[in-house]
Amino acid sequence: MLKLFKEIRKTGCATVGYPFEPLAQADGVRGKPEHTADACIACAACAVACPPNAIQMIPDIEEGTVTWSINYGRCIFCGRCEEVCPTRAIVLTKAFELAVMSKADLETKSVYRLQACSVCGEYFASRKQIELAARILGQDSDQTEVLQAIDGLGICPTCKRTRDGVAASNHAKLTGGVR
Amino acid sequence: MIIDREVPGSLQFQPTKVELDEEVAAAKATLLHDIKRSVYLYRCDLGGCNGCEIEIFSTITSVFDAERFGIKNTASPRHADIMIYTGAVTRSTRLPGLRAYAGAPDPKLVVAYGACGCSGGIFHDNYCVWGGADKIIPVDVYIPGCPPSPAQTIYGLAMALGLLEQKLHAETTVEADDERAPLRFETIPYKVRVEIEREARRLAGYRYGCDLANEFLTTLMLADVDVHGTMTQFIASQDDPRRVEIYRRLYDVLMSHARSDG
């Protein structure tokens, strides 16, 4: 009997203290993906990467907004969103206490404004994304090409193609056509 | 680029949900908050991958020991107070799920377990999947995770029994007028940063590469005058030879840029 008690004392208690004390977690544990709304540029890279479509981008053309949303009830905690995020706005934390009583509480949303094309007036990207691209380009140098690129940031891809096509045909007329 | 991915709900069969009558609902509310005895749980697999089952059973092992709270696993729904539904509810498991639900005595708590049980998870838009236990039966607690860890399971069950508070709440943030995303590593030229990040990801994989590049660039940002000295010291201070190798290569990338830029 004493031998048994000794053995028990030597072995110790294997049970963790949770929930009475914080849980010790290993490095690299993939918990709740935490979204920093300020740092997000609504580029939708995470929505494209998300395997179960837990992250979705729903545009509202009437309002001129796009709503980023994550459904933690569908998330499989794979970390692909963290991998692709260009601004590290979404990072997997170690938080795991995600259980809820009502399904609506599983969803987190962020609303972002859209950028209208300066030529045709249609929405084509989020405002913050364009703004960040302008800053990155401006950081590089003050070459004419860069300045031109910054100038064309507010134009949607379709209008940009039209503009380039018109410029090319004008140039061809001036120089006597394409050889 | 804006994407709009509606779940093809119209293509999926929408089963009729079991509704609670008032008397049972009242009894259930009492059970939910004032349970004063051990609870027995019955685990019901509705087309899961068995990952959730493994986690449920590791919850009742000695490390996490759910029996501390009187939570015991039972083999029959007839003895159950808590029904745990795992899996995305496939076409062929709907009826067994309903039979198990009917077999358990009222009042009973229903827990939707795992990403599949909560909303169908990665199978949410599959043609033969009904997408979560709450499509067929009234669910009291949702425990997300793929699979939920034992600690998360204990938290969810404790919440179901009114022992712990709910932490996650629905939240909507709206973009402020002059909100700007911070530019990362502002003083490092964009091209250099991208090349370092790319090389780190090529060497260490996407996730760890990202972490390593971050650490490298943060140190580089802080090194103001003596870049060579700081970086050499930083590389030398690493314990892991793999890190040393990767940082050395990142440093080579940095130096090749410094040389070409003059």
Residue B13: the pLDDT is: 67
What residues in B contact A66, CB-CB < 8 Å?
Answer: 2
What residues in B contact A59, CB-CB < 8 Å?
Answer: 2, 4
| Cβ atoms of A55 and A109 closer than 8 Å | no
Looking at per-residue pLDDT, the higher value among B261 and B138 belongs to B138
What residues in A contact B134, CB-CB < 8 Å?
Answer: 103
Minimum-distance CB partner of A52 among B62, B121, B172: B121
Determine, for residues B175 and A112 on separate chains, whether the beta-carbon distance falls below 8 Å. yes
Q: How confident is the model at residue B227 (pLDDT cuts 50, 70, 90)?
A: confident
User: Which residue, chain included where needed, has tokens 């507010």?
Assistant: A154
Determine, for residues B182 and A23 on separate chains, whether the beta-carbon distance falls below 8 Å. no
**pLDDT per residue as tens digits for the range A58-71:** 999 898 999 999 99
Q: How confident is the model at residue B249 (pLDDT cuts 50, 70, 90)?
A: very high
What dihedral do alpha carbons B34, B36, B40, B42 form, nearest 10°?
Answer: 0
Concatenated DSSP letters for B153-173?
HHHHHHHHTTSS------EEE
Residue B9: the pLDDT is: 57
What residues in B contact A93, CB-CB < 8 Å?
Answer: none
Q: Which two tokens stand for residue A132?
A: 């960040």
Residue B2: the pLDDT is: 42
Determine, for residues A110 and B180 on separate chains, whether the beta-carbon distance falls below 8 Å. no
Distance CA B55, CA B153 (A): 8
User: Å from B233 to nearest chain A CA?
Assistant: 25
The answer, yes or no, to whether residue B4 has pLDDT greater than 70, is no
Q: Which two tokens stand for residue B95?
A: 């009826």
Q: How confident is the model at residue B3 (pLDDT cuts 50, 70, 90)?
A: very low
Q: How confident is the model at residue A32 (pLDDT cuts 50, 70, 90)?
A: very high
Residue A90: the pLDDT is: 93
**pLDDT per residue as tens digits for the range A68-119:** 999 999 999 998 898 888 888 999 999 888 999 888 999 999 999 999 999 9
Q: How confident is the model at residue B6 (pLDDT cuts 50, 70, 90)?
A: low
| Cβ atoms of A92 and A9 closer than 8 Å | no
Beta strand A107-116 with B39-45 is unpaired
User: Å from A35 to nearest chain B CA?
Assistant: 11
Determine, for residues A40 and B181 on separate chains, whether the beta-carbon distance falls below 8 Å. yes
Task: Classify domain B20-168 at the CATH class level.
Answer: alpha beta
Residue B210: the pLDDT is: 87
